[in-house]
Structure 1
Amino acid sequence: MATFNFYLDKTDRKGFAPIHLRINCNSKQVKVSTKEKIRPEEFDKETQSVIDTAERAIEINHYLGYLRDRAEELFNNSLKKKYTDDEIKDKLTDFVNAYKEGHDINIVKKPNIPNGEAFTFVDLFAGAGGFSEGFLQAGSNNKYFEFLLANDINDNSELTHLVRYNYQLGLDAEFLCQDITEPDFLDNLLAKLKGKQVDVVCGGPPCQSFSLAGKRKKFDKKDDLFAHYLEVIKVLQPKYFVMENVKGILTKERGKIKELILTEINSIVDINEVPKLSAFVNALKKANPEDNFILDCLVKRIEMEQFTDAKAEVEKENYIRTVDSRFKKLTPNIVDYRTSKTDTRISTIRHGFNLLIRNKEWEKLKRDIIREKDFCNIDNDAFVDTFTQFLTHLDSQEIIDKIQQAFKELKVEKKFRKQCEDIIHALKIYVLNIDDCLSIIKTFCNKRQVTELQKIIEEIRLYRIEAPFVANSSNYGVPQNRERVLFIGCRKDQKFISEIPATVTEEEKVSVFEALYDLDFIGNDEEAHHYQLIDISKQYNGTANKMKGLLKTRSIEGKPLAKKGKTFAEWSRSGRLNGRFTNTTNPFYVRNAEALDNNQKDYAVLHNHKTSKQGEDVIKRLDIILKEGDYKNAQEKLNKCGLASNKRNYNVLKPESQSPTVMTIPDDYIHYNTPRALTVREMARLQSFDDSFVFQGKRSTGGNNRKSELPQYTLVGNAVPPLLARAVAMEILKNIK
């Protein structure tokens, strides 16, 4: 049985005493220097800690506790049962040196800026930073990416970003922790960018509740994220943007959602070309005198695209006021004075205009209600319909529908009907996108004018996109069959990109075994902070040669190589950043932002490799499923053994193939060799994250906490695989001008 305690050595000339860790085991003793010094009166021998009033007490005590834990882990949780004195010292000294390197102030050489051309990128809905990681790995023809800013709403995303990119890699990349739907989001984004040009924007706005024609079905926080993502694109006008989403978006509402997304992208205009289109529409008024009001409305709607934020809101308000003014002039012609003051239909029209004029204020109110609704978990209950109906009635399209119905019920004289129809038409134009406005303009054109308009349309559309591209991550060196849809918007002055070429063939794909075999030294309820040697011959006995045959030497993107290269596991250990960041510090973990502020950093060789504590029945259940090879096939045996589960599915990993899509719940997967769930590090390997990328904060969470917290498993499961992002970045670098 080993014992561990700290003691002070002799004081130096300045009165500071070095702290040492002493390990006693089987009458033998090993001493390891912690490389920390304190004044003797600041050390409490009884508690083995620095007294609270000492400088850096919180930081040093955290470090001493962490070092003791690593020593205990070495003796209690290691596959190896015999160590020499030097082996113990070497392993613990690794932790000590990593700690000192992370805390000492050093003069370092100037960051290694590659020779070549830098292009900037911004990562929205960044989560852990899969897009960011892949873009920083990319380099092509002396071109590379410079990371400007990431955004997400979750504190743990920000913490993971700060640790990885600011502390570890030493980058100046900003992080904006704010909901993209908030009114001042764009202002804050632009303030953090400090006038820098953005060449590429990437991100995956969730579109779960996105629906047609503004008729949203749930009204949750994810409703407007796509629209707000495009608002950022309109303001930044990057050379390329990449929008990632689930494959189901292609078939949602029979493909209409996909078409709507493409239409909205096509509606982003080059503001420099707006005057040309306005002039063209104004010229149509000569041949269409009776429709001058509608044509004027189309011009106003088109010109709104030149403005953002405050100015855009003013223009929207002015538009409605113009239509309202037309209605006020028309009112005496369609109803008498008394009716105009008391009739419900007239009041509906008049008040509808008031609601539309105050649209900005109502949008703020809707956002607050939706936030409170989500906070109170209003869903699948007696309250949800009331909230949905109220929020639906505040939608601009719904208000316009009610105004239209009120006009119908008035039964206006025939000679004034067109004026009424024009008012309704004008209101409908107000909520249309540019693509739909262009369709209306065509109805006023003759053949020659249609041809002329088509040329203007080609010039006014800022981005070109034909169709979304379905990308399977396994085609890019990721050991996982994860299909995602990519919408790639190409600015009209850039080369067109329609797809991302695969980096590996079907036969060359990376297997689960290649990704995970060297981490297979951990059991139930264990945590490892350093790698251990894996002996495949002993572990797999009769099938060792088959398993060894799965290991391939590969290029960074997964292409098998006859010479040089590394295995997937070796790439994961050494990292895929290609030595670009010369002043990179050792990876570390912190519990939260407060721990980061207090320098309570946990340095280790290996991070995020901890298994869950699973009961005996769970282990037996997983063992049966593992041996049967499939959850469905195991049902009969599980029922006989009294181990049946209500869980919908377990995915047994197949060592020779790719994993299914990695999600956010580790219990969904069973390790191919051991009846257990996967660790965060193993799931990160299946996503193609380097081992030096440390996921911060809690490992997991449950219940209602899932709404507000983003633990490590969720960060991993929601991420874009870095090697897929790298392939996207490489294709952009090959084409960008």
Structure 2
Amino acid sequence: MATINFYLDKSDKKGFSPIHLRINCNSEQVKLSTGEKVKQEDFDKETQSVKENSERATEINYYLAYLRDRADDLLNNSYKKSYTNKELKSKLTGFVKAYKENHNVNIVREQVSLYGKPFTFVDLFAGAGGFSEGFLQAEHNNKFFDFLLANDINDNSELTHVVRYNHQLGLDADFLCQDITEPDFLDNLLSKINGKKVDVVCGGPPCQSFSLAGKRKKFDKKDDLFSHYLEVIKVLQPKYFVMENVKGILTKEKGKIKELIIKEINSIVDINEIPRLSSFVRSLKKTNLDNSFLIDCLVKRIEIEQYTDSKAEEVKELYIKTIDSKFKKLTPNIADYKTSKTDERISTIRHGFNLLVRNKEWEKLKRDIIREKDFCNIDNDYFIDSFTQFLTEIDSNEIINKIEIAFSKLNIAKDYKKACDDIISALKIYVLSIDDCLSLIRDYCNENQNNELDVIISDIRLYKIEAPFVANSSNYGVPQNRERVLFIGCRKDQKFISEIPATVKEEEKVSVFEALYDLDFIGNNQEAHQYQLVDISKQYNGTANKMKELLKKRSIDGKPIKTKGKTFAEWSRSGRLNGRFEKSTKPFYVRNEEALNNGEKVYDILHNHKTSNQGKDVIKRLDIILKEGDYKKAKEKLNECGLSSNKRNYNVLKPESQSPTVMTIPDDYIHYNSPRALTVREMARLQSFDDSFVFQGKRSTGGNNRKSELPQYTLVGNAVPPLMARAVAIEILKKIR
């Protein structure tokens, strides 16, 4: 039986004594320095801990308890039943070394360009940081990316970011933990960027409501996030932007959502060209005297694009008040005094203007209602229709529609019909995109003017984009068939990007076995803190040679190479980040922000490799499905054994091929060699995250907590695969000027 304790060595000149770990087992003894020192009077021998009133007591005690746990784990829970003193000391030294390397390191070191030319990027809807990770891995002809800022709404995204990029890699990249739909989001973003130029913006707006598999909801706040993303693009005007989404967005609303996104991208204008366009539109009044008012409205609408936030709202308000003023002058000609004060139709028009003038306030109210509706899970119930109807009623388009109906029911004399129609048309111009405005301007152009307009349109559109394209992550060295749609906007002064070339051919793709084989030493309800040797010959007996043939030496991006290559697993262990991060410290885990501030860090050799505690019946069910190779094929046998499940699907991983799309629920997948779900680390491998990338916070959660928490499994499942992001980043580096 082994005993584990701590003792103090002799004091140094300053009165501090080193703390040593001591293990006694079968008359043998192992001693190890912990790397920490305390004064004799601050150490409690009985409790084997530093006294609470001592400096850094919380941090040191957490570290000592962690070392004791790892020693106990090696002695009592390891697959290996015996160690020599040297082996035991070597393994424990790994944990101590990681702690020492991180101790006394500045939390944030200034990011320094060591060589070549840096380009900056910002990662919106960052989640775990898949885009960030891929962009930092990218390098081409001495060009690389500097990380300025990431954004997400969840605390655990921020914690994972801070630990990975600030503590571990020592970057000064900032994090904005705020909802992009908040009114002051842009102001806060600009404040954090602090005047730095942003070359690239990347991000994947959450899109559950776009998904082919999920329910489609009306007024789901996630549906409109792309427009807020584009608002950021309008303000930052980066050289390139990348927007990632699910494949379902291409067919949503019969393709109308995709068309809307393209139209919105085409509506991002070069504000330096707006005076030129305004001048051209004004000139059209000479040949369109009867439509002078509408042409003036088009000019005003176009000029709104010059402004952001409060100034834009001020100009919009003035636009509506100008039309309202025209209506007030017109009112005596279409209704007598008594009617104008009491008539429902006139009141609808007048009050409609009031609603439109207060558009900013109504939009804020709409955001708050949608947020609360989503939080309360309002959907498929007696409440949803009422919520949907109200949110529809306060939309600007619906308000304008009611004003139009009110006008149509008035008995307006022929002499004033054109003026009334102009008011309605002017309101419709107010809600048009710039792209739609440009189409409308053509109605007032002759052939020569159309040709001039074509030139102006070409110059005023800030971004070039033809169509989104579908990218499969397995084409970029990721062991997963994950199809995603990429919208890549290229600023007009940059080279055009229409696709991201594959880095591997179909027959070269990375297999599930290549990604996971070296982690296959863990059973049900177990956690591993360090790597263990996996003997393929013993595990697979007669098929060992076949399994070994799946292992290939590859370049970082998955391309098979014969010299200087590594297996996918070796790349995952050694890391894919370039030479700028050679001084990065050892990875660590913390359970929350408070633990980080208290120094309660876990410096394991291997992180996030813990299996779920699944019951006997679940294991039997998984075993049957695994042996049948398919859930549908196994259903009959499961029924016979009384092990049927209401679960919609189980995905049995095939070692020789790629995994299906990694989602956020581990129970959806069955390991190819064991009747169990995957660990966070295994799912991270399938996403192509390095092992040094530690997912922080809770491992999993359920129920309503999923609305407010983002556990490790969700962080992994929602992420952009870093190797796919790397391929995107390299293509940008090839083209960027």
Shorter-chain TM range is over 0.9
Residue pair 2:110, 2:172 contacting (<8 A) in 1 also: no
For the residue of structure 2 that corresponds to 1:355, the secondary structure is helix
TM-score (norm 2): 0.97
Report the Cα offset of residue 104 of structure 1. 2.8
Return the letter of the residue paired with 2:434.
I
Partner of 1:506: 506
Return the letter of the residue paired with 1:171.
L
Q: Cα deviations across residues 666-699 of structure 1 (Å, max 9, x unaligned)?
A: 0000100111100000000000000010000000
Distance 1:663 1:34, change over 3 A: same
Q: Cα deviations across residues 125-184 of structure 1 (Å, max 9, x unaligned)?
A: 000000000001011111111111100000000000000111100101010001111111
Return the letter of the residue paired with 2:66.
Y
Distance 1:49 1:657, change over 3 A: same
Distance 1:73 1:436, change over 3 A: same
Residue pair 1:77, 1:526 contacting (<8 A) in 2 also: no
Report the Cα offset of residue 391 of structure 1. 1.6
Distance 1:275 1:360, change over 3 A: same
Partner of 2:650: 650
For the residue of structure 1 that corresponds to 2:222, the secondary structure is coil
Report the Cα offset of residue 225 of structure 1. 0.9
Of 382-391 and 91-100, deviating more is: 382-391
Partner of 1:14: 14
Return the letter of the residue paired with 1:148.
L
Q: Cα deviations across residues 654-677 of structure 1 (Å, max 9, x unaligned)?
A: 000000000000000010011110
Alignment map for 1:387-398 (pairs within 5 Å): 387-398=387-398
Partner of 1:715: 715
Residue pair 1:156, 1:711 contacting (<8 A) in 2 also: yes
Alignment map for 1:289-368 (pairs within 5 Å): 289-368=289-368
Identify unmatched segments of 5+ residues in structure 2: none
Distance 1:371 1:560 in 2: 48
Distance 1:222 1:46 in 2: 56
Distance 2:467 2:600 in 1: 48
Q: Cα deviations across residues 575-627 of structure 1 (Å, max 9, x unaligned)?
A: 00122213201100000011111111111111111111111111111111111
Partner of 1:609: 609
Return the letter of the residue paired with 2:503.
T
Q: Cα deviations across residues 294-337 of structure 1 (Å, max 9, x unaligned)?
A: 11100100111111111111110010001101110110000000
Distance 2:110 2:200 in 1: 26
Residue pair 1:111, 1:583 contacting (<8 A) in 2 also: no
Residue pair 2:285, 2:291 contacting (<8 A) in 1 also: yes
How large is the Cα RMSD of the aligned pairs?
Answer: 1.6
Partner of 1:540: 540
Distance 2:77 2:267 in 1: 60
Identify unmatched segments of 5+ residues in structure 1: none
Partner of 1:424: 424
Distance 1:681 1:385, change over 3 A: same
Partner of 1:573: 573
Return the letter of the residue paired with 1:289.
L
Distance 2:93 2:330 in 1: 86
Return the letter of the residue paired with 2:499.
E
For the residue of structure 1 that corresponds to 2:122, the secondary structure is strand
Return the letter of the residue paired with 1:271.
I
Partner of 1:564: 564
2:385 corresponds to 1:385: yes
Distance 2:106 2:718 in 1: 36
Of 612-621 and 13-22, deviating more is: 13-22
Return the letter of the residue paired with 1:510.
V
Distance 1:255 1:388, change over 3 A: same
Return the letter of the residue paired with 1:689.
F
Report the Cα offset of residue 341 of structure 1. 0.4
For the residue of structure 2 that corresponds to 1:364, the secondary structure is helix
Residue pair 1:111, 1:582 contacting (<8 A) in 2 also: no
Distance 1:261 1:419 in 2: 34
Distance 1:42 1:207, change over 3 A: same
Partner of 2:231: 231
Alignment map for 1:203-222 (pairs within 5 Å): 203-209=203-209, 218-222=218-222
Residue pair 2:210, 2:246 contacting (<8 A) in 1 also: no
Return the letter of the residue paired with 1:126.
A
Report the Cα offset of residue 454 of structure 1. 1.0
Distance 1:29 1:181 in 2: 61
Return the letter of the residue paired with 2:304.
M
2:96 corresponds to 1:96: yes
For the residue of structure 2 that corresponds to 1:286, the secondary structure is helix
Distance 1:354 1:141 in 2: 58
For the residue of structure 2 that corresponds to 1:730, the secondary structure is helix
Alignment map for 1:602-681 (pairs within 5 Å): 602-681=602-681
Residue pair 2:348, 2:403 contacting (<8 A) in 1 also: yes
Distance 1:724 1:505 in 2: 14
Distance 2:221 2:426 in 1: 30
Distance 1:26 1:633 in 2: 53
Return the letter of the residue paired with 2:114.
P
Distance 2:562 2:705 in 1: 49
Return the letter of the residue paired with 1:270.
D
Report the Cα offset of residue 392 of structure 1. 1.4
Distance 2:724 2:187 in 1: 31
Distance 1:106 1:307 in 2: 41
Return the letter of the residue paired with 1:238.
P
Residue pair 1:572, 1:685 contacting (<8 A) in 2 also: yes
Of 453-462 and 13-22, deviating more is: 13-22
Return the letter of the residue paired with 2:677.
A
Q: Cα deviations across residues 442-462 of structure 1 (Å, max 9, x unaligned)?
A: 111111111111111111111
Distance 1:445 1:547, change over 3 A: same
Residue pair 1:662, 1:717 contacting (<8 A) in 2 also: yes
Residue pair 2:3, 2:24 contacting (<8 A) in 1 also: yes
Residue pair 1:210, 1:224 contacting (<8 A) in 2 also: no
Partner of 2:159: 159
For the residue of structure 2 that corresponds to 1:487, the secondary structure is strand
Distance 2:648 2:3 in 1: 46
For the residue of structure 2 that corresponds to 1:284, the secondary structure is helix
Report the Cα offset of residue 385 of structure 1. 2.1
Distance 1:535 1:715 in 2: 31
Report the Cα offset of residue 79 of structure 1. 1.9
Distance 2:108 2:598 in 1: 24
Q: Cα deviations across residues 277-306 of structure 1 (Å, max 9, x unaligned)?
A: 111111111111111111110010011111
Report the Cα offset of residue 210 of structure 1. 7.1
Return the letter of the residue paired with 1:363.
E
Distance 2:244 2:106 in 1: 40
Distance 1:569 1:699, change over 3 A: same
Residue pair 1:149, 1:173 contacting (<8 A) in 2 also: yes
Return the letter of the residue paired with 2:176.
L
Residue pair 1:101, 1:586 contacting (<8 A) in 2 also: yes
Distance 1:13 1:253 in 2: 76
2:131 corresponds to 1:131: yes
Alignment map for 1:58-77 (pairs within 5 Å): 58-77=58-77
Of 580-589 and 662-671, deviating more is: 580-589
Residue pair 2:165, 2:173 contacting (<8 A) in 1 also: yes
Percentage of matched positions with identical amino acids: 80
Q: Cα deviations across residues 30-59 of structure 1 (Å, max 9, x unaligned)?
A: 222212122233222332222211111110
Residue pair 2:479, 2:515 contacting (<8 A) in 1 also: yes
Return the letter of the residue paired with 1:256.
K
Alignment map for 1:113-132 (pairs within 5 Å): 113-132=113-132
Distance 2:107 2:383 in 1: 61
Partner of 2:45: 45
Distance 1:359 1:514 in 2: 55
Distance 1:7 1:217 in 2: 62
Partner of 1:465: 465
Residue pair 1:590, 1:600 contacting (<8 A) in 2 also: yes
Distance 1:460 1:327 in 2: 33
Return the letter of the residue paired with 1:92.
L
Distance 1:658 1:209, change over 3 A: closer
Distance 1:196 1:112, change over 3 A: closer
Distance 2:595 2:649 in 1: 37
Distance 1:718 1:217 in 2: 20
